[in-house]
Structure 1
Amino acid sequence: MFKEIEFANPHFFWLFLVLPVLIGWYIWRRKEQTAALKVSSVKGFKVKGSFLAKFKPMLFVLRLLALAAFIVAMARPQTSDVSSQTKTTKGIDIVMAIDVSSSMLAQDLRPNRLKALKKVATDFIDERPNDRIGLVVYGGESFTKTPITSDKSIVKRALEEIENGIVEDGTAIGSGLATAVNRLKDSKAKSKIIILLTDGVKTAGSIEPIDAAELAVAFGIKVYTIGIGSNGMARTPIAYNADGSFRYGLKKVQIDEDLLKAIAERTEGTYFRATSNSSLQDIYDEINKLETTEIEEFKFTNYDEKYRPFVIAGLILLMLEFLLKNTVFRSFI
């Protein structure tokens, strides 16, 4: 109970220092408060102590308790309930365009590039609670996996479902970027972002990546490009086994960094290179910092005053002291 109570005027607790002084004064003056009769001898009287006389100090105790209750009341005990409301003053719409070509199964990131990306992208989605996010996947062709939405559970579920083989193999960077632009071109958000990720060079698609970048510029869309893959050789799918599974072998990592840099530069974005799981995480953290959503927060505090029971208790104690003083203990005062 008392853990939730705060005191608006705690300085009134200094008045508790008066209580020991009053107790000392009462003890010192106690003998003078009782009438005394001096006789030479009490042998002729029957001396019998009064039961009520022993409880006379209870009147003083009641008065002290009443004073203590009033001190607590003056300190204003209260509980508070804080509620907040947020208002997004600048919304951001984001589309993540993800390469799902067979090379995304390369194992230079653990357990492979695609699974590493899905984990990092999920964390990124969780950190954008006030923005709308959509997903585009591309290989030899592209399609919209999830339109931009504020329902993060839908986006994360769709992200988890992304696997190699859901589209024809290849790397149609231009098609993937154009599809992402198409998802954002009618957006009313003040800021529109595409995060384009690939691990190779353009091998498919009829749309040139630079032409798609020009479309993004025309619609005021910024593109962050990410080249994923280690430097040198990587264990990558190179052929199919008889059962349809991939056969892995070492293959040189090839990323068209010049193209990705050009796309980012034309759209006022930034190019990043992810060569490990940690660097991929750092890249998404950096984008998260670069694209911040402005939020206005309003806090409301409701106070519930708790001093009234202490005032009532103090008054009851004073009334009880008054009644006992003028009835039961009247002959001893």
Structure 2
Amino acid sequence: MVALVVFANPSFFFLLLLLPLVWFFRRYRKEEPFFLPFASQWVGTERKGPINKLPVVCCYLAFVLFIIALARPQEEKGKIPIRKEGYDIVLVLDISGSMLAEDYEIDQKMVSRLDVVLDVVKAFLDKRVNDRIGLVAFAGRAYTVCPLTFDHQWIKRKIDQLQAGAIEDGTAIGDALSLALSRLEGKKESEARHKIGSFLILLTDGANNCGNLLPLEAAQLAARSSIPVFAIGAGLSGEVTMPVLDEERRKIGSQTVISEVDEELLRKIAQLTGGEYFRATDSNAILSAFQAIDAKKKIPFEPIVVTKKEELFPIFLVLGLFFWFLAFLISKRI
């Protein structure tokens, strides 16, 4: 298939009209045209023979190549879909020590809540290619893992580094929501992209027990900013199996602890902000919750199709410089 070449700035081809003027000045003027290189070679001369015309021919050719470069030739490489609209989403994930509880089952094997959550989150990222997504993690305090970004692969790499119990333990839901809101409000809109909206996804397996801001106070801030919070209560309530880790975070045993999810609080947060609450007592429920959020906040229009192009002007620029330099070399030898 023959490649299609287009020009981004075709108006520069009008400069080709200067060539007849250059020819006129060379032929009918006896004084050296100072605006041309190697002026003595461009003035009419009594020397005859093809070799004496080579510098002039090379300069003409260089001039044409420079004009083509200015016109920016581009080779079309095909069509690619681009969506400029999307959501801003911040994931607010609980990484307290209780997220190590092994009360989820996959392929007849008990796994921790955090392992299941992180796998589902990464699958969610793959579906939201048009959205800017950020990540806030929290336990006894909250911190930003990733600011809003389109680089979902980078977020996945940061997710793989998350460890439950890696920071001071506790469940600071209010502080985490407040930090997530600041991540959304602090990101200014780009002129090249229209934002459909913003929302938070809060996933926790506990009840708020620390922090500077109460969860419902943070929820009121979100409501005033029209940012819905989709809350997911993860894990079983009651007795659950918790691994015992050594100083190097290797499992050396297990113990039974009591787990408590404050469903009433999470439901109030969702209702107050216009979001929705999901109870996820197993791995399938976690997946279903994220699928429901994905379906509810899906972008309903087709992508914009643009043509991918490769710039070819460097080729013509280099060729023009080559013939320009060649004209100089030849003029010095004849």
**Structure 2 length-normalised TM:** 0.61
Using a 3 Å threshold, how does the CA distance of structure 1 residues 251 and 292 change in structure 2: closer, same or farther? Answer: same
Structure 1 residue 90 displacement after superposition: 3.4
Moved more, 184-193 or 151-160: 184-193
The residue that corresponds to 1:77 in the other structure is none
Q: Deviations over 1:195-254 (max 9, x none)?
A: 0010011111111000111111122211100000124421125x7768876763222321
The residue that corresponds to 1:93 in the other structure is 88
Q: Distance in 2 between matches of 1:300 and 1:211?
A: 45
**Which runs of at least 4 in structure 1 moved beyond 4 Å after TM superposition?**
81-85, 239-247, 298-301
CA RMSD of aligned residues (A): 2.6
Q: Is the 8 A contact 1:142 1:167 kept in 2?
A: no
| Structure 2 residue matching 1:91: 3-state secondary structure | strand
The residue that corresponds to 2:197 in the other structure is 191
| Structure 2 residue matching 1:190: 3-state secondary structure | strand
| Structure 2 residue matching 1:281: 3-state secondary structure | helix
Answering whether residue 153 of structure 2 is matched by residue 153 of structure 1, we say yes
The residue that corresponds to 2:133 in the other structure is 133
Structure 1 residue 166 displacement after superposition: 3.0
The residue that corresponds to 2:117 in the other structure is 117
For 1:183, give the aligned amino acid. R
Using a 3 Å threshold, how does the CA distance of structure 1 residues 262 and 234 change in structure 2: closer, same or farther? Answer: same
Could you tell me the percent identity over the aligned residues?
Answer: 35
Moved more, 198-207 or 248-257: 248-257
Q: Deviations over 1:49-83 (max 9, x none)?
A: xxxxxxxxxxxxxxxxxxxxxxxxxxxxxxxx995
Using a 3 Å threshold, how does the CA distance of structure 1 residues 170 and 299 change in structure 2: closer, same or farther? Answer: closer
The residue that corresponds to 1:229 in the other structure is 235
Structure 1 residue 111 displacement after superposition: 1.4
The residue that corresponds to 2:103 in the other structure is 108
Q: Distance in 1 between matches of 2:258 and 2:172?
A: 20
For 1:86, give the aligned amino acid. P
Answering whether residue 292 of structure 2 is matched by residue 286 of structure 1, we say yes
Q: Distance in 1 between matches of 2:304 and 2:87?
A: 21
Q: Is the 8 A contact 2:83 2:304 kept in 1?
A: no
The residue that corresponds to 2:330 in the other structure is none
Moved more, 239-248 or 185-194: 239-248
Q: Distance in 1 between matches of 2:150 and 2:249?
A: 38
| Structure 1 residue matching 2:165: 3-state secondary structure | coil
Q: Distance in 2 between matches of 1:197 and 1:111?
A: 17
- Which one has a bigger Cα radius of gyration? 1
Q: Distance in 1 between matches of 2:259 and 2:119?
A: 22
Q: Is the 8 A contact 1:108 1:230 kept in 2?
A: yes
Unaligned runs of 5+ in 1: 1-80, 302-333
Aligned length, in residue pairs: 221
For 1:253, give the aligned amino acid. S
Q: Is the 8 A contact 2:137 2:176 kept in 1?
A: yes
Moved more, 223-232 or 96-105: 223-232
